Amino acid sequence: MSSATESLESDETASHPEAVSAFTESRVSQVGHVTSRAVHTCLNHPAESSQDVTMATDARGKCHRMSGRLEPPLRAAGVSGSAYLSAVRPRLRPLARAPPNREVGRPSLRTVPNSKPAAMGVDLYYMDLSAPCRSVMLLAKAIGLELNLKVTNIMTGETRTPEFIKMNPQHCLPTMDDDGFKLWESRAILSYLASKYGPAHLYPSDPKERAVVDQRLYFDMGTLYERFGKCVYPLMFGDGKIADNALDNLKEALGWLEGFFGDNQYVAGPKQTVADFAIASTVATIEACELVDLAAYPKLSAWLAACKTDMPGYAELNGQGATAFGGFYKAKVNA
C-alpha cells in the first residue's frame, strides 16, 4: 500500500470520493475478499468489458458484505461505513443491471495492480540477452506483478542441471514458477500472466479478438523471430554460414508486420495486447543488431518508438538487453 494512501487525512477522505475509492481499494486488497482487478473496475472503470462487468457484478455483493469488516480501518482513517457505501454504490449499481453480453466501450489502457501478495511473487528464470525473456519482464512491469528474477546462464549450462531439468525438461528460457505451477515458452507465459493478473484487454476473451492476438504471437515465434534467428545465430553460435536469402526473408516478414497495423495503433488491433510485448522485444533486438533499416517500415517504427516511451521500464527491461545482444552479434561480425 502506498504511503500516499496510508496518509490520507480524515477531512480529505470525507470530502473527496476519489480518496474514499483509493483508500477502499487498498483495504479491499488487504482483506482479500475481492481481487484488485475487480475493485479497480468497480470503482474506476465501470462496464469496460463484458468480462469485467461479470466480475464487477460479483464484486458488488462482496463489497457490501465486506462493509462490516472494513468499518474499523475506515473509521481509523476518518471514513464512515456510510461514506464508503455512498461512494461505491453509484459505481456498482449500473454494473448490476448490465446484461451479460452488453456492448461496452473501449477499455482504458491503464494497467491495474496484481492481487498476488508481493512476498510470494512469481519466479522467472531468465537472461537479459533473450528477447522472449524480456517480453515477460515487460508485461509483468506493466501489470504491476512482482517477479522473483533468477538469472540463469544458458551458455554455461545452468539450464542443464538436474534441478532445472526436473522443472523444465526442455531446459529453455524463460521458465516460470507461479506457486508450483511451472510453465515455459514465453508467449504461453505472457498469455497466462495476462489472463490471471492483467486487465482483460491484454488477452481478450472475445474469440475473434483473441484469435488475432494468438496469430500475432505465432507469427512472432514461427516467422519473425525464426527468420531473424537465421540471420544471426549461425554467426553467433554456429558455423557462421548464413543462407543467401536469410536477410530478404527477414525483410519480407517485417513487411508483413508493417501491413498488420493498418489503421490501428497496436500490432493486434486498436488495443494493447500481449502481442505488443512479445513483438516489441523481437523488433528491439532486430534494431540493435542493425541488420535492417526500420525506417523503411514507418508504422512499425512509430509503434516501436511509442513502446519505448509508453511501456513501463522499457529501457531497463528491454532496451539494455537488446543493446547487449546487438553488441554480442556485432562483435562476432567484426571478429
Please give the biggest Cα pair distance in the chain: 73
CA-angle at 40, arms to 39 and 43, nearest 5°? 80
Residues 6+ apart with CB under 8 A from 19: 8, 12, 13
Q: Is 230 exposed, middle or buried (0-12, 13-18, 19+ CB in 10 A)?
A: middle
191, 189, 190, 257: which is closest to 223 by C-alpha? 257
CA distances from 255 to 38, 135, 141, 226, 229 (A): 40, 22, 29, 15, 17
Catalytic residue among 21, 26, 36, 130: 130
Chain-centroid distance of CA 16 in Å reads: 31
CA-angle at 257, arms to 254 and 259, nearest 5°? 115
- Give me the count of residues in the chain: 335
Cell numbers found for residue 237: 553460435
Long-range contacts of 62-66 (CB under 8 A, 24+ apart): 62/33, 62/34, 63/28, 63/34, 63/39, 63/88, 63/92, 65/33, 66/28, 66/31, 66/33, 66/34
Known catalytic residue at 108: no
Residues 6+ apart with CB under 8 A from 66: 28, 31, 33, 34
Q: Look at residue 124 and give its three-state secondary structure.
A: strand
272, 333, 256, 335: which is closest to 307 by C-alpha? 272
267, 286, 285: which is closest to 276 by C-alpha? 267
Active site residues: 130
